[in-house]
Amino acid sequence: MKKILSLTTALLASGVASAADLSTIYEQAASNDAEIAAARATREADAYNVTIARGALLPQAQVSYNHTEISADLSGAQTPGGASVDTDSDYDRDVLQLSASQTLFNLNSWYTYQAARTGDEASELTLQMSEQQLLLRTAQAYFDVLRAKDNLSTAQAEEQAVKRSLEQTKQRFDVGLIAITEVHEAQATYDLTYVNLLGMESSLDISYEALEQLTGQRFDQVDPLRDEVPMEMPEPADASAWVDSGMDKYAGLLLAEANKDAVRLQRNATRSNHLPTVTLSGAYMDGDQQSMDANGDPYDGSITQVGIEVSMPLLAGGSLYGQSKQAALNYAAADYQLEQQRRALKQNIRSLFRQVKTDVLNIKARKQAIKSAESALEAAETGYRVGTRNIVEVLDAKRNVFSAQRDYANARYDYIINLMNLKFYAGTLNEGDIQLLNSWLKAA
């Protein structure tokens, strides 16, 4: 009893969760995935760029207070009458100063502010893309587990079937019905099957590790895919409709467009460095003022200043010209990158659209291949019993059955992942797709 309690406590302490469906895994990932958490924090941090850039266009004000203790010992100081005297004075000097300024004309600050606003839109698109990637990563990790489980189940069944065939072959050899070569061939086939089984066990463990990295929890079981799910042709059935959707909605392309606009505004800001700037400024100072008399004490007074400053660079050693040319080339590079994004997006959508259509046909063909392989196995086993087939042919037929089952399972998972990727690049992937896939699962 103590051992059972200790095991239960250990499982709870290690954070191992029971079986879960796709929706549960996604909720855990949305709350615990470090990558999406970093994307959200970065989005919040980038939002302050607009506030920072806008500050250069708004009024600026500073206040300062200065307290100075002065001890003066003057020898030969001149009085107003021209007489020479020696003075020795100690006094405190306090000055309060308030200054303010307002930019009236500064195109550099204006374009920098506009670039920050565009950058804020880009930051929002980056977060949107990260959220869609989370949907994709969650589905990928979940169905990788199911793929590994199906492949392991197939490998286990294959190992057991080949093992039984090996035992039967040894029995037939013991009674002198077959030669030793068939035993060696059966043993070699079993060894290969066992090695494959070990690889599948490792793949399942690795897939669970990926799921734990995504959610921060360890799951020991996930709900499997139902046998019959509506894996149909993509809708709309025209690839150009998917391309048009991607050109309008894909976050990656919209992000590239926003980055280009931000670089364009930065280019304009850099060019504006050649133009004059106009600033309205004012200051007020109240406190002890230095006496004009050499031996006089400071006196109280106040000063008010108001002015307009106009400045314009004349020479900067060529740095302003270099900055302007550099900004122009950065804009050209952003334009080329945007065009590259458009071309890559079209290619990805068209390729995925054709792949999904192929997956639908492949699933039907793989399902039929299982029936054909099972019929071939029955014929091989019948021939082996009557002596017209050898053990190698029977083992090959068995492996073909399990290979067909494995290919069918993989084809279904390929369809799901390719369809999710197609929706991702078309810009239509959302949480509703997770709910749809979740309805294709059955409780474990």
Res. 281 pLDDT band, cuts 50 70 90 = very high
Please report the pLDDT score of residue 18 as a whole number.
59
* CA gap 442, 444 in Å, rounded: 6
Helix axes 107-174, 34-54, angle to 10 degrees: 170
Please give the share of the chain, as a percent, with pLDDT higher than 90. Answer: 69
Q: Average of pLDDT values for 399-410?
A: 93
Q: Average of pLDDT values for 171-188?
A: 87
Res. 6 pLDDT band, cuts 50 70 90 = very low
Res. 431 pLDDT band, cuts 50 70 90 = very high
* CA gap 229, 428 in Å, rounded: 21
Q: What is the pTM of this model?
A: 0.83
Domain boundaries, the chain: 19-67+93-438
Identify the residue whose tokens are 């206040």.
Answer: 63
* CA gap 245, 422 in Å, rounded: 11
Please report the pLDDT score of residue 12 as a whole number.
40
Residues 125-172 have pLDDT tens digits of 999 999 999 999 999 999 999 999 999 999 999 899 889 888 888 988
- 425, pLDDT greater than 50: yes
Listed range (136-145, 171-180, 370-379) with the worst mean pLDDT: 171-180
CA 79 to chain centre: 78
> Which one is predicted more confidently, 17 or 40?
40
Please report the pLDDT score of residue 9 as a whole number.
37
For domain 19-67+93-438, the CATH superfamily is: Outer membrane efflux proteins (OEP) (1.20.1600.10)
Res. 383 pLDDT band, cuts 50 70 90 = very high
- 406, pLDDT greater than 90: yes
Please report the pLDDT score of residue 93 as a whole number.
79
By CB neighbour count within 10 A (0-12 exposed, 13-18 middle, 19+ buried), where does 360 fall?
Answer: middle
Identify the residue whose tokens are 């078309």.
Answer: 426
Q: Give the C-alpha distances (Å, rounded to integers) separating 427 from 33, 71, 369.
A: 22, 75, 35
Res. 1 pLDDT band, cuts 50 70 90 = very low
